[in-house]
Amino acid sequence: MGRREPPAPPGLSLVTLALGLLVPASGMEVTAPAVVYALNGTDIRLPCNFNSCYKMDTKQFSMNWTYQGCDNCTEETFIQYDKKIINQHLERFQNRVEFTGNPIKNDLTVTIHNVQLQDEGEYHCYVLNPPDRHKGTGKIRLEVLTEVPPERDSTVAVLVGASVGGFLALVILFLVILKCVRKKKMQNLNSDDQKTEEEVKTDGEGNPEGELKAAIPEVL
Ligand SMILES: *[C@@H]1O[C@H](CO)[C@@H](O)[C@H](O)[C@H]1NC(C)=O
Ligand SMILES: *[C@@H]1O[C@H](CO)[C@@H](O)[C@H](O)[C@H]1NC(C)=O
Ligand SMILES: *[C@@H]1O[C@H](CO)[C@@H](O)[C@H](O)[C@H]1NC(C)=O
């Protein structure tokens, strides 16, 4: 008689479905706000964070920030990482851009000092964190205002933005952890088919999430 496959726990297949729907095929999640508003003449942070299954390795890591002034303008690289942060000192920014993040903490924030109207446009951060093979991209549209918006509106907008952003960041972090676990599991299955099957059998009657719980600490 053929061997019977252990039935897939319903909880896990639901999680797999959610991952398939929500997480694109790429290995890296990059979080950046879609739009940043800045007041003319102030300093503004353009945040960009990445999550990866692998620890950042300063020798292999690569990162670029580009500026694109219009839809069909070319992207101009103004900051990049090649074993260290390199500021290209583009004429258009006249030393007003500064890297204020910390790549080891997955933070690629840049700050524009004394923002000008002509700084408006699309800012892209590109990240590659080998051995992750996929490049991550964050896109921010910068809009420069010349007067402070009415107090009430901006407070509400900031509050809503902060809570939505915080929630999204949590969801994404959760999904990345799950995906890393799944990746590990698949590697285990490939490299050690027999062993995994036995583990599933002995564990099979009990708690199907035991395996998942056990795998998470290895990743963190
Ligand atoms: C923006 O601010 C600069 C000074 O930082 C000022 O010279 C310029 O006139 C301002 N532009 C507008 C449109 O308010
Ligand atoms: C951008 O493309 C549009 C048509 O799609 C064209 O009319 C316009 O001149 C282009 N602008 C630049 C700066 O090339
Ligand atoms: C950044 O730019 C350099 C030089 O153009 C390129 O070799 C590298 O792959 C880029 N890195 C990313 C993450 O886009």
Nearest to 140 by CA among 130, 161, 125, 158: 125
Ligand number nearest CA of 62 is: 3
* pLDDT higher than threshold 70 for residue 110: yes
**63 pocket-lining for ligand 3 (C-beta < 6 Å):** yes
Of all protein residues, the one whose alpha carbon is nearest to atom 12 of ligand 1 is 146
Query: pTM of the predicted model, to two decimals?
Result: 0.65
Residues near 125 by Cβ (< 8 Å), separated by ≥ 6?
A: 30, 32, 46, 48, 63, 64, 65, 108, 110, 137, 138, 140
**Overall average pLDDT of the 75-93 stretch:** 95
* Percentage, residues of the chain above pLDDT 90: 50
Tell whether domain 27-148 is in CATH 3.30.230.30: no
Query: Tell me: the pLDDT tens digits for 126-182?
Result: 999 999 889 999 999 999 999 887 766 666 566 666 666 677 777 777 777 777 777
Ligand 2 atom showing the smallest separation from residue 73 Cα:
13
Going from N- to C-terminal start, the domains of the chain cover 27-148, 150-220
Confidence band (pLDDT; 50, 70, 90) for 220?
very low
- Arithmetic mean of pLDDT over the chain: 78
